[in-house]
Structure 1
Amino acid sequence: MTTALITHADCLEHVTPEGHPEQVARLEHVLHALAPLDLLRLSAPPASDEDLARVHPAAYIARIAGAEPTEGEIALDGDTWMSPGSMMAARRGAGAAMRAVDAVMSREARNVFCATRPPGHHAERETPMGFCLFGNAALAAKHALDHHGLERVAVVDFDVHHGNGTQDLLWDEPRALFISSQQYPLWPGTGAATERGGHDNVLNLPLAPGSGGTEMYRAYTEQALPRLREFRPDLIVISAGFDAHHEDPLAQLNWKDQDFAWLTRELCRIATDQCEGRVVSVLEGGYDLAALAGSARAHVEELIEAGK
């Protein structure tokens, strides 16, 4: 079997104001870094309103669609922007996550990386925020549970910012385990260890500003990986944010490329042992372009190795 890459050129049509960290160049740099790799390359379909309704109410979907401008850029909040093309880009991101689940469930691929934007893990049930419009990782989990009939899906989020949106969308879903490591304190202010979900299905791993790989290894080895094994997932979804990198301008963790590689390798090892290697990874943050490209490539190279 193999590793698939799912993306679409429409994701380059989501434009933010000059100087905004969530820029078109992020995806360009990731795709350039992955270009030499041996990947099954698939096109991201657009998610329908019915698809998005697995995690967002119809009124919210309509509100986001109606907010898209016909020219220029408009702000939904201080961080989150839309331009002509943003709605389709966001639909492609959500559609990529579902297509990835379909690919691993049908054995078309062993694991999948979705290189799309805008990211998704900050989008709450009825609130766009943190550059995000729709909850891609949560949608992948719900699609796997409801469409494919899986019994247990785990979402692991290693973005430097807490995945408050994914946590909100899966809080009351007993079939899903959400594990998130994040710098704490840091925007958006959530992610304390006391936040445990409606069914004890949330595990937050707060990491102190200035900490690095050693602290991350300890948190995952002592808490996250044992909890994941105990849960026995049928699928692992990864929210792959690369802004914990020491070069990233928006936070103060000190991870290196090899830290992302190690964590990916460990998650894939559990997937191999417990769910036939099924891993779906969706791109979240990462705002230093060179660091993003390098760490995303290290992540995908580990997916490829696990997929052999």
Structure 2
Amino acid sequence: MGEFLRMRRSQLQLADVGLRDFGERRRVPGLRRDELAQLAGVGLSYYTRLEQGLSLNASAEVLDALARALDLDEVERAHLHDLARASRRTGTRRRPAPERAGETTKQLLAAFGDAPAIVLGRRSDVLAWTRTGHALFAGHLDPHIPDQPDQRPNTARLVFLDAHTRDLYVEDWPKKARDVVGKLRLAAGQHPDDPRLAALIGELTMKSPEFASMWSEHRVRKWDLATYRMHHPVVGRMQLNLQTLNVPQEEGQRIVVVTAEAGTGSAAALRLLAQAGTSSGAGSARQAARTARRP
């Protein structure tokens, strides 16, 4: 929580919070502790202890006051409360149970038919996918790999460490990367005792300087709808909408469904991609894509 408060304080300027800048030389970026404490209506010594991790009993009212002073949005405010709860926990902590896609979730996934769709867990592990979801996001991987808990692909690992995925989001990779990091930040606040999540974050920090830089910004994001430009090796360029549906009774699980605007080349490309479930289908899809792009 202290790191989050320090980082968000450093990202605010005086003008952002309605304070006058008298041109004085400032020793720290952003707001000083005393300025933020005054804006939140809390004592400077108390706020300093919060940043230093020496006080773990901040009330909901104090946290909300800090959120207002820092100009946090609703997702960021909830994240601050999650961090405070995590810092107050004592004693033996129960580790999250292993994740799997339940039978009703798989039935719902099957109902999407040829539409690209994937089930993601709290760490953004792929728990299941439709045939076209596999072809879109990870056609270079074994389609049955989500059934192997120790081998499951992870969307954060794919985005930062997999060349195929970087090429897939080639035009919007920075946007996708920040969305992934923001979602992991939320998950870390909600599941502070998950050793696999901690290991994933550690791995990405060590292997990807880009991830390490974005992670240090303490930005959180919870997106329900995002649009990305993609370039698929089989069907070419597309502009696709990714919509998130929370899975009932499965905390942290979500289904991501991909659509395209009707009547566009992107919609036609998705239909072609649905043919790529077999080697012959992939060849047919490539030929159809070449034909469709001819003048």
TM-score, with structure 1 as normaliser: 0.26
TM-score, with structure 2 as normaliser: 0.27
Higher gyration radius (CA)? 2
Point out the structure with the larger strand share: 1
